[in-house]
Amino acid sequence: QKTNQVKVDGQDKLVIFGMPGQFKNPFHPAKLARELSQQLDMKLFGILGQGGLHMAFIHEWAEEFPEVPIFVPPARVLRTAPGRKLIDKFGKDRFTDFPAEGWAELKGQLEFRLMDGLLVHVDVPTPNEGSKDSKLNMLKTMAKIKPVDPHDEVFCFHPPSGLLIGGDNLTWHFKDGEKVPLMLKMAGCKCGSVGLNKQAIVADPVYKERVAEHWRAIMAHDIRVYCGFHERPGQALEGPRVKDILLRGVAAQMNPSAGCLPF
């Protein structure tokens, strides 16, 4: 989860990007976000979904912030079993489609790109939704999943710092020499690089040029730091080679003969 202060119509506001749950933490992130808003005396501009796979705790954020708009990527979230429960409980009007190119009023502060044209595995229950919480069960699930369902991911760029927050269609970043867990190796993660998730999320062949257009727009930013949704503190990819590493990681797995390259 990322929280940023922005200025909209002369007023300071907060943008919440991501809706995590409590897990084993002593406090729920939504409760902490409420406290932060009150302490800073800043209203929330909105609560933003991170992508079609990040939806297990949306209901908890909707309950905590009934007065704040919640933006969700439109391709997948509300079509899943958890999404249908959200509609049954709160009504479809409670949720707004994430805008394809972010918000004009946030230009230069926080810039977003909704990457559609992707495919992902069909919805599978998480431990929070009743499945067994074990590494073995997770490995069995990963071994079975195939990308067949329409999907979208959200990328966020913070111009002042040059930070790009990537979607789950990119692999996690591990520094050179770190041990990469087996389940993440299966998804294409390896030390010292960032590439496309080769197992769970892929470009739909029908929309490959559209996906390449998204990448061109993302890579046009002055990227100086990169991290995904899951990287731990200190795991960010930074330095003069950040953009080059990202470009090579993406280009290596896209088909040049399809007219999608160069970026």
In the predicted model, is pLDDT for residue 68 greater than 90? Answer: yes
How distant, in Å, are the alpha carbons of 112, 165, 167, 214 from that of 51?
Answer: 12, 12, 7, 15
pLDDT of residue 45: 98
Long-range contacts of 184-192 (CB under 8 A, 24+ apart): 186/139, 186/142, 186/143, 187/142
Mean pLDDT of 87-98: 96
pLDDT of residue 229: 80
Structure tokens at 169: 């269609």
| Averaged pLDDT of the chain | 85
In the predicted model, is pLDDT for residue 259 greater than 60? Answer: no
Q: Which band of pLDDT confidence, cut at 50, 70 and 90, is reported for residue 253? A: low
Higher-pLDDT residue of 61, 208: 61
Single-letter amino acid code for the residue at 40:
L
pLDDT of residue 156: 96
pLDDT of residue 262: 45
Single-letter amino acid code for the residue at 156:
C
Lowest mean pLDDT among 84-93, 145-154, 157-166: 145-154
DSSP state of 20: -
pLDDT of residue 256: 46
In the predicted model, is pLDDT for residue 87 greater than 70? Answer: yes
Strand partners, 72: 97
Mean pLDDT of 6-23: 94
DSSP state of 93: G
Q: Which band of pLDDT confidence, cut at 50, 70 and 90, is reported for residue 170? A: confident
Q: List phi, psi (to 5°) of 50.
A: -90, -15
In the predicted model, is pLDDT for residue 59 greater than 60? Answer: yes
Mean pLDDT of 178-197: 76
Contact 20, 3 (CB under 8 A): no
Higher-pLDDT residue of 185, 156: 156
Q: DSSP string spanning 213-249?
A: HHHHHHHTS---EEE-SSPPTT--EESTTHHHHHHHH
Mean pLDDT of 194-222: 84
Q: How many residues does the chain have?
A: 263
Structure tokens at 130: 């009743």
Higher-pLDDT residue of 251, 46: 46
Q: Which band of pLDDT confidence, cut at 50, 70 and 90, is reported for residue 74? A: very high
| Maximum C-alpha span of the chain | 54
CA pair distance 215, 209, nearest whole angstrom: 10
**Please, where are the H alpha helices in the chain?**
29-40, 58-64, 81-90, 135-144, 182-186, 208-219, 242-251
Single-letter amino acid code for the residue at 27:
F
Mean pLDDT of 61-74: 96
Higher-pLDDT residue of 229, 139: 229
Percentage above 70 pLDDT, the chain: 85
How distant, in Å, are the alpha carbons of 83, 121, 124, 146, 181 from that of 200?
Answer: 20, 6, 12, 6, 16
Strand partners, 3: 16
At 256 the three-state DSSP class reads helix
pTM of the model: 0.85
pLDDT of residue 25: 79
Closest CA to 162 of 101, 234, 239: 239
Higher-pLDDT residue of 28, 229: 28
Mean pLDDT of 86-114: 96
